Structure 1
């Protein structure tokens, strides 16, 4: 598993909202899927309204996201 940082925009009502999130995934395809499903479940945003502008692999120590920190705690 690797840590990824994604940034982009998603449709929030009539406006576009910027986002940046860190996520743990096996590869870039899984990271993209998790990001899109996260916005669908939290905000009810369809996948076509989420635009991922960058998806980069990061070191787990760069992240402040509790899920990323917990996943790589023992390493």
Structure 2
């Protein structure tokens, strides 16, 4: 499995210049939860992984399981 830091970096990269609040709202999570994921402090549960991947137009595997 990919480490927290790598996942965090991917999430930040995917978000780009979008505001955290906009992404969080669209995915049905709190801004603070998204922040924790982007800092590598937490990994989202599977349901949230699916929402984030769908929002970013990619797969759960690409974000959370792809090796560097």
Say yes or no: TM over 0.5.
no
Compare relative contact order (CA 8 Å, sep 6+) and give the higher one, 1 or 2.
2
Q: Which has the higher helix share?
A: 2
Q: Which has the higher strand share?
A: 1
The normalised TM-score by structure 2 is 0.32
